[in-house]
C-alpha cells in the first residue's frame, strides 16, 4: 500500500530500502489497514471502542399483547416488540422465545428481513428467526435471550431479563 508519494518503491530504493523490505513493509501496512476496517471485537462498535455488548436489561417487565403482532401466530414468525431496548419475539415449535436485537459482535441493532431472518448491517453477521447465529460475514454468538412468560389467558406475555 502506498500511503504517500514518498512511500513509493522508487523513493524507498533511493533511501536504501531493498525491494524485499519495501514489499514486506507494504504488505504489513496493507494487512494493518484491512484489520482496522474489519471490525474485530471491540474495535469498531456501535457502543464505542472497546465496549462489548452485554445482555439487555429490562428494568420494568414488558407486557406484550400478542394480537398486536400477527407474525407471532405462526411458527417461524418474528416481531420486534420493543425499540428501547430493541427486543424481538419469535414463535418456535415449542413456544415463544425472545432476544435482544443488539448484535453480539459489536452492538449494532440487527435488521429483521421479510423472511424472518436477521442480518447485522455493520459487519454482516446473520441470525436465524430464533436469534441463533448462522454465519454471514462476521463470526459472533447468538443474540442475547430474554425471558418470555405467557399469562394464563395466552393473550399477553411478560418479557423480562
Ligand atoms: S456489529 Fe459487527 S456483525 Fe454486528
Using CB atoms within 10 A of its CB, is residue 5 exposed (0-12), middle (13-18) or buried (19+)? exposed
Ligand 1 pocket, CB under 6 A: 39, 103, 105-106, 108, 120, 122-125, 138, 140
Using CB atoms within 10 A of its CB, is residue 156 exposed (0-12), middle (13-18) or buried (19+)? middle
Cα dist from 37 to 33, 34, 83, 160, whole Å: 6, 5, 28, 36
Task: Give me the mean pLDDT over the 135-157 stretch.
Answer: 96
Of how many residues is the chain composed?
A: 161
Higher pLDDT among residues 88 and 5, named by residue: 88
**Res. 12: pLDDT tops 90:** no
Q: Residue 156 C-alpha to ligand 1 middle, in angstroms?
A: 32
Of 41, 49, 106, the residue with max ligand 1 atoms within 8 A of its CB, to mutate for a pocket test, comes to 106
Global pTM value? 0.72
> What is the structure's pLDDT at 131?
98
Measured over the CA atoms of residue 154, residue 147, residue 103 and residue 84, the dihedral's sign is positive
Q: Nearest C-alpha to atom 1 of ligand 1 is from which residue? A: 106
pLDDT tens readout for residues 34-57: 333 444 444 456 777 777 888 888
For the chain, domain boundaries: 5-37, 62-160
- Domain 62-160 - what CATH class? mainly beta
At residue 102, φ and ψ (nearest 5 deg) are -85, 120
Separation CA 161–CA 36 (nearest Å): 34
Q: How confident is the model at residue 144 (pLDDT cuts 50, 70, 90)?
A: very high
Amino acid at each position: 500500500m502506498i500511503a504517500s508519494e514518498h512511500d513509493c518503491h522508487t523513493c524507498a530504493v533511493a533511501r536504501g530500502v531493498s525491494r524485499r523490505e519495501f514489499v514486506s513493509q507494504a504488505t504489513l501496512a496493507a494487512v494493518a489497514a484491512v484489520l482496522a476496517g474489519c471490525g474485530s471485537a471491540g474495535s469498531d462498535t456501535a457502543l464505542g471502542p472497546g465496549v462489548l455488548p452485554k445482555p439487555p436489561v429490562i428494568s420494568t417487565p414488558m407486557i406484550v399483547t400478542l394480537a398486536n403482532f400477527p407474525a407471532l401466530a405462526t411458527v417461524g414468525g418474528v416481531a420486534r416488540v420493543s425499540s428501547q431496548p430493541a427486543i424481538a419475539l419469535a414463535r418456535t415449535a415449542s413456544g415463544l422465545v425472545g432476544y435482544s436485537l443488539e448484535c453480539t459482535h459489536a452492538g449494532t441493532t440487527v435488521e429483521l428481513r421479510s423472511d424472518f431472518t436477521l442480518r447485522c448491517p455493520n459487519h454482516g453477521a446473520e441470525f436465524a428467526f430464533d436469534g441463533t447465529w448462522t454465519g454471514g460475514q462476521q463470526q459472533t454468538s447468538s443474540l442475547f435471550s430474554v425471558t418470555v412468560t405467557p399469562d394464563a389467558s395466552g393473550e399477553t406475555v411478560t418479557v423480562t431479563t
